[in-house]
Structures are given as structure tokens and as C-alpha cells.
Structure 1
Amino acid sequence: MKAAPTIGGDSRVARVPAAPKMRCRTNSRRGLTDLSGPSYPPVEAACRVLEVLRAVNDLRIAKINVVHEITGIPKPTVVRMLETLMAQGYVARDNMCGGYRVTHKVQDLASGYDGVNRVIETARPFCIDLTRRINWPIGLGVPDGDAVAIKFWTGTISPWAHTNTVLGLRPDFHNSAMGRAYLAFCSREERERRIEALVNESGEPFTPQEKTSLRTILARARMDGFAIRNPRTPPYRTSTIGLPLRENGEVRAVISVSVYRTAIRPHELYPKVIEPALKTVADIEAALAFINNSNPSLPNETRAEMEPGF
């Protein structure tokens, strides 16, 4: 990969390699949700404009010859692309510093991409890999009001998925594995606030006894490192394990694994399901830490906002 030094420092901006040639296809592989398999060949001009914008963003003040060295794009083309970006308001010519710089408008490009989306995007290839290794469906969820919103599910590639409608479900906080995993590992203040707001199956606020029972369950989950769904709630033929996904020491998402009770013996559950899931969570958290360390300017509140679970 070609790289060139930036202005006033040793950091280098790598040129993104050209995408391989491919035939047009109308559908991606079943269950594939990563960004590496586009259906159509890329528009070369669009790729080059993004290369130029990325280079200007990294350089802070970009000169035409340096953008050319970084991207390999001919200088006349660089000029035309910079002028186009200026016309759209994303780049400005800075005559004081003698180069080009990005404007505040580039922030609009990230307005639809919050920390939750970033964490899910980071986690889902790991979840796909886990399902391919253990065959059971994996869920990713985040807190959403009084329940957990499932943002991603690998049931489409699991040979043992018990339903294909999981993305429409909203697991609660006190019975579901996802909800229990979140409550067990979130801050004490948030945990108590959510427990005080819980209602039972009769629609009544939790009694003191119900609150004490739930706190005991959550304490055990913190000791184990995972939570298990209330076995007295449907679907009765499955068991679900929930695990917290943390970033910067805080729970950003929850992950779940569902198995048929009759398909796996109790003593096999930990080595065959829970242990691989814990390892996957550790890998995801390591990836998030690497991303954060690679982007030291990323605000803490933006670095962490997602939650998977099931």
C-alpha cells in the first residue's frame, strides 16, 4: 500500500487499494452483513473524491502536491476534485496557510453514525464467526426505553435457529438474558433506577420481595460473568445466555446465545457455548479498545454507545 508523509509530522496516510473487479450480483450471501461484499463495481470517480477528502482531513492543511503524493491521483484531477468539494462546502481554500482544509460541514457526514452503530458494526463480524463455529444464533441488543432493542441477529445463518423473527422482539430487563446481563453489569445507579421502574406480569410495580430476588440473580450474574434467561418464561424449549459488551469500562451492548435445552447437556453448556461466547466478547472489546486508541481525538461519549444482546 502506497503511503506518503504528511505535512509537519511523521504520520502517514495510506492510499486505499483499488477494489477488485467483480460481476454485478443482486443479492449478498445469506446472513452476510459486513461491508466487504458490494453488489456492483465501485464508481472510480467517487472513490477518488473520497480519497482526496480523506487526505485533506488527515493533513489538516493540504497542498496539492502532497495530496497527489498520498493518493497517486494526477494533480489536475486533484485540483478539480478539491474545487468540487469546495463547491459542495466540504473543503475551503486557506490562503493564510497556503493549502486546503475541511470545513465544519464534514461533520454532517457522521450525523447518522452514532456510537451504537459503530459498536454493532465492530461486533457483528465476530458474532457471525461465532455462529459459524458453534452453530447457535447470536443476538446483539441495546437498551431502548423499558426493554432491549435487538439490532442484529445471526439466526439466518444458524442451522439451529428457533425463530426468524427475533429482530422484532423487545426482551425485558428482568426476565430476558439480555436485560439481566445489562442490569448486572451497568452502573449501580442505573441498575437501581431501572429496578425501581420495573412492573411485574400483573402490571404492578415490583414488590420489595421481587426486587430482592432480582438483585440476588443479578449479583450471581456478576460473579459468573453472564446471565441466564428466566426458565419460567417462553420460549420454554430454549435457554438463552446474555453477556455484557463493555467499552471504556461501561456496558455498551449485550450479546446473547440461544440453545435448545434438549440439544445440549447442562455440563456441556459452559465449554461448548458460554466459553466461546466469552472469548468472542473479549475479542470485540479488544477491537473496540484498538479503535479508540487509534482515534485519540474521538470524544468519549462518541466512543461508546452501543449494546448487543438477545
Structure 2
Amino acid sequence: MNNDKPIRALSRGLAVLQAINRGGSLTLMQIARASQVPYPTASRLVHSLMHEGLIEQEPDRKRYRPTALVQTLSNGFQGDGILIQAARPHIIDLTRRVGWPITLSTRVGHSMVIRDSTHSITALTFNTYHPGYSMPILEAAAGHATLAYMSDEDREQLLESMKLLPKIESPGILEMFQKEELASRIRAEGYAARMFNQFTANPGKTSSIAVPILRDAEVVGALTLAFFVRAAKMDQAEASFVRPLQETATNIAQSLCDVETRH
């Protein structure tokens, strides 16, 4: 018996819950598509989550949304309070200079989880993304930047664990990371980019550029700038935003050291 093999039903249940948490209000068909779980299975999982009180059906509508009970799943998690404290003034400053929203995220398992963002202070966004919003690591520019700057051993272990999942997101990207070609390119360029982001509230309408936040050569988070696909081509965005993002990441790393020293 292989004790390392994940429990498929649990993995699918978590995928469904994350999809609803990301979408805020979804139909069963949207939940099945977003979680990549077959419709009949998604339907059973939705009813199980309703029974547990984690989601609810909207009144007079065949749509489902998370309840306040979802917040109890994070009880005991200390988060990245010091990192958020160090980063907040810098990401606000960057957004005020460039206009576009900036997101601070960290890796949790196979996902990148938003810790803070400036979506609420700019009009150049489709939605406001709150702390806790998660994206598959292989589908996010922040995830690519994080993977590229992880140690070779940690990256190899993470990628191998992802191959045990019932369904692998972006197997082609996983293969490129395993062959080192993508990680090497990102490290050489100092940033990662993703076009037509799919794991957002408006799939395909934004693209992103992300840089790592490094402390003593260890990646502790990532900064992402998102922009409308129709507003700029990727090469234009790279020319305009990569350097400000890198400078901001460096400033955050320095502020992080200062905050930790005071604590």
C-alpha cells in the first residue's frame, strides 16, 4: 500500500471548495468546470459541503457561495504578518506610481495564496482579491517565480508530489520545470510572466508579471502586477514594469529585515 497517494475524494472536495471560494457565487456547472471535477461528483460534493455548513445555496437561485464558517478553516494559521507589514507601504507606493494592482502572495502546498493586494485602491482592475484567494502554482506568474527561485531539491520534491495528484494542472509547464529550462530562463531574466490568466474572476482578460521576494537567497514570497490584456502587449509591460517590480521586491526584503530586527 502506497501511503503517499492522496485521497481522491478529499482532493476533489478541496478543489470544489476552493473554486467556490474563488468565484464567490457559482452555478454547479461553473463549479465543475472551475474545479475540473466531473459534474455528478461536483454535485455530490457541493451537497456534502452544504451539509457541513461551509457553503450555502443562494435564496431562489441555483448558485452556491461560501459561508462565514469557511473562515474557521484558517484558525490557528499565523500567516505572514511580518511580511505583510513590511510589504504594504511598498506595494501601495508602486500601485500609485504605475496604476496597476500589485499582489503579494506566498506558496502554500501546490497553490499560491494572496496575502495582500492593492486592487481596492486602483480603478484598473476587474475585481478586488482578498487575502486567502488561491491559484494553482503552475498557473500563476507568482508560482513560476517562486518555483524558479526555490532550491533545486525543494523544487524537485514539490514537482514530484504534484505528479501524485489526481489531475495535474498544466502538465506541459510541470515538465518544463522538471527539465530546468523554464526555471533557468526565469532566473536569467529575473521575472516570470503569464498571459491570459485563467484562474481569476475574469478568465483570460488579464496578464501578469511576477518577481520573487528574496531573503538570504530564500524565496519568501512573490509580487505580481496584473494588467488588462487589451491595455498593453506583454513586451511593452515587461519594458515598463519589470524594473519597478524588482526594485520594490528588493525594498520589501530590506524592510522585512528591519521589521524582524525590531521584533
What TM-score do you get using the length of structure 1 for normalisation?
A: 0.53
Which of these residues, 161, 164, 187, is aligned with residue 125 of structure 2?
161
Partner secondary structure for residue 164 of structure 1: coil
Matching residue of 2:225: 257
Which one has the largest radius of gyration? Answer: 1
Residues 116, 168 of structure 1: CA spacing in aligned structure 2 closer, same or farther, 3 A cutoff?
closer
Show the 5 A alignment for 1:88-107: none
Residues 182 and 254 in structure 1, CA contact (< 8 A), matched pair in contact too? yes
Supply the distance in 2 between the matched residues of 1:174 and 1:129 (Cα, whole angstroms).
Answer: 28
Give structure 2 stretches of 5+ with no counterpart: 1-75
Q: How many Å apart are 1:113 and its aligned residue?
A: 10
Supply the distance in 1 between the matched residues of 2:87 and 2:144 (Cα, whole angstroms).
Answer: 20
Supply the distance in 2 between the matched residues of 1:281 and 1:210 (Cα, whole angstroms).
Answer: 25
Give structure 1 stretches of 5+ with no counterpart: 1-111, 299-310
Equivalent residues, number: 183
Q: How many Å apart are 1:291 and its aligned residue?
A: 4.0
Matching residue of 1:229: 194
Supply the distance in 1 between the matched residues of 2:165 and 2:229 (Cα, whole angstroms).
Answer: 24
What TM-score do you get using the length of structure 2 for normalisation?
A: 0.61
What is the one-letter code of the residue matched to 1:227? A
Show the 5 A alignment for 1:1-310: 116-165=80-129, 167-199=131-163, 203-204=167-168, 211-214=174-177, 215-229=180-194, 231=196, 233=198, 235-292=203-260, 294-295=261-262
Q: CA RMSD in A?
A: 2.9
Residues 198, 230 of structure 1: CA spacing in aligned structure 2 closer, same or farther, 3 A cutoff?
farther
Residues 272, 142 of structure 1: CA spacing in aligned structure 2 closer, same or farther, 3 A cutoff?
same
Q: Percent identity?
A: 26
Residues 226 and 243 in structure 1, CA contact (< 8 A), matched pair in contact too? yes
Deviation string for 1:224-272 (max 9, x for gaps)?
A: 1111126474521211111111112211111111011221234421342
Residues 82 and 259 in structure 2, CA contact (< 8 A), matched pair in contact too? no
Residues 117, 232 of structure 1: CA spacing in aligned structure 2 closer, same or farther, 3 A cutoff?
closer
Residues 142 and 192 in structure 2, CA contact (< 8 A), matched pair in contact too? yes
Residues 137 and 154 in structure 1, CA contact (< 8 A), matched pair in contact too? yes
Identify, as 1 or 2, the structure richer in helix. 2
Q: How many Å apart are 1:204 and its aligned residue?
A: 4.9
